């Protein structure tokens, strides 16, 4: 089978399309023929081994699991002897996590991992993106922030994968949403449900007088310290991007402030919790309350090109490799 293999950490050119032996499912695994698999910003950070501490679990001098990608959508083509829930022919999507290997024609995943059936109306491309922006933003907004009806939420990076999902989810949870994006994305962010949109090329949101119950900085463009004057008395600043300042601010605000700073890694949560999120997200899509934004589609041999595009930091929503 063909697979996008990372030969060494660094530039997109280090990704090679190789012919390798397809994996064989273990007793508790399913083998999925991949139809669509995303290239996410997190994938590009893993390609660069950033932040450096990620080498502890990615592999110190070279990637331990060198087939790229974690998100997948496709069809089950074989099941291990102990698998009861899934059958050959099922349309499924999910996340291989630290197993990686999803940017390939076939991937093996545990049947009790982050995997679910694709609802009838969803395309493979849409389903492939659900474990990135929608899943992560759902965790941050629903579980970490516990957003309540009428709360005011500021979403920075509102046109990205996490941001485009976050605007819609926050709105669905009854919040009043303000999105921050550039001029070219103002109409998109408004169409996703933002009541107010701040164009960062014209206005510095940190200079504004408004206050928010939640600031979700999806791209870590700001920080708790830069934004805390915009938080209400018990407001929370959250970012999904791991960095030293947010860890220090988390520690400080835990003991010394009613305003809080939060980071979390959604991918490290128990599979059962993530599957619960996916069920809720699927229902929101079925109910027409959440839609997936896909910016560009590439083929598997164009994986390096897709990485270069995601590296620009300008993608709108999601980028997907169409495999089958």
Chain positions contacting ligand NAP, by CB under 6 A? 40-42, 45, 132-133, 136, 156-157, 159-163, 180-182, 184-185, 200, 218-219, 221, 240-241, 265-267, 313-316
Distance CA 268, CA 54 (A): 13
Distance CA 245, CA 42 (A): 19
Q: Cβ closer to ligand NAP: 75 or 297?
A: 297
CB 139 within 8 A of CB 324: no
* Other beta carbons within 10 Å of 273: 12
Distance CA 56, CA 260 (A): 28
CB of 266 to ligand NAP, least distance (A): 4
Q: Cβ closer to ligand NAP: 219 or 236?
A: 219
The full DSSP string for 9-68 is SSSGGGEEEEE-PPP---TTEEEEEEEEEE--HHHHHHHHT-SGGGHHHH-SSS-SS-B-
Q: Cβ closer to ligand NAP: 68 or 162?
A: 162
Which residues partner with 252 through β-bridges? none
**Nearest residue to ligand NAP, scored by beta-carbon proximity:** 160
CB of 174 to ligand NAP, least distance (A): 23
Q: Cβ closer to ligand NAP: 80 or 245?
A: 245
CB of 265 to ligand NAP, least distance (A): 5
Q: Cβ closer to ligand NAP: 24 or 191?
A: 191
CB of 274 to ligand NAP, least distance (A): 10
Q: Is the peptide bond before 13 cis (omega within 30 degrees of 0)?
A: no
Angle at the Cα of 320 from the Cα atoms of 308 and 104, rounded to 5 degrees: 90
The full DSSP string for 244-278 is HHHHHHHHHHHHH-SSEEE---GGGS-HHHHHHHH
Q: Cβ closer to ligand NAP: 211 or 220?
A: 220
* Other beta carbons within 10 Å of 150: 9
């Amino acid at each position: 089978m063909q697979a996008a293999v990372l030969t060494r950490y660094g530039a997109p050119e280090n990704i090679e399309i190789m012919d390798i032996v397809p994996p064989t499912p273990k007793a508790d695994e399913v083998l999925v023929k991949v139809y669509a698999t995303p290239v996410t910003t997190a994938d590009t950070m893993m390609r660069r081994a950033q932040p450096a501490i990620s080498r502890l679990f990615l592999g110190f001098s070279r990637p331990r699991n060198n087939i790229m990608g974690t998100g997948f959508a496709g069809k089950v083509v074989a099941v291990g002897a102990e698998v009861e829930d899934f059958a050959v022919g099922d349309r499924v999507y999910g996340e291989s996590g630290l197993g990686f290997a999803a940017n390939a024609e076939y991937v093996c995943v545990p049947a009790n991992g982050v995997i679910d059936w694709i609802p009838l109306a969803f395309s493979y491309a849409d389903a492939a993106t659900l474990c990135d922006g929608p899943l992560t933003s759902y965790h941050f907004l629903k579980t970490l922030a516990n957003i309540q009806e009428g709360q005011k939420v500021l979403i920075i990076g509102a046109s990205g994968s996490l941001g485009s999902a976050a605007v819609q989810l926050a709105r669905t949870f009854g919040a009043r949403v303000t999105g921050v994006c550039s001029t070219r994305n103002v109409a998109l962010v408004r169409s996703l449900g933002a009541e107010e949109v701040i164009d960062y090329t014209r206005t510095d949101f940190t200079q504004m007088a408004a206050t928010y119950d939640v600031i979700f900085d999806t791209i870590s463009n700001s920080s708790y310290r830069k934004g805390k004057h915009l938080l209400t008395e018990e407001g929370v600043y959250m970012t999904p991007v791991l960095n030293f300042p947010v860890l220090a601010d988390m520690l400080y605000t835990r003991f010394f402030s009613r305003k809080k700073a939060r980071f979390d890694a959604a991918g490290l949560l128990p599979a059962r919790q993530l599957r619960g999120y996916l069920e809720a997200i699927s229902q929101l899509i079925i109910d027409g309350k959440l839609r997936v934004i896909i910016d560009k589609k590439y083929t598997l041999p164009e994986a390096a090109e897709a990485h270069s595009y995601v590296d620009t930091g300008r993608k709108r929503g999601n980028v997907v490799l169409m495999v089958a």
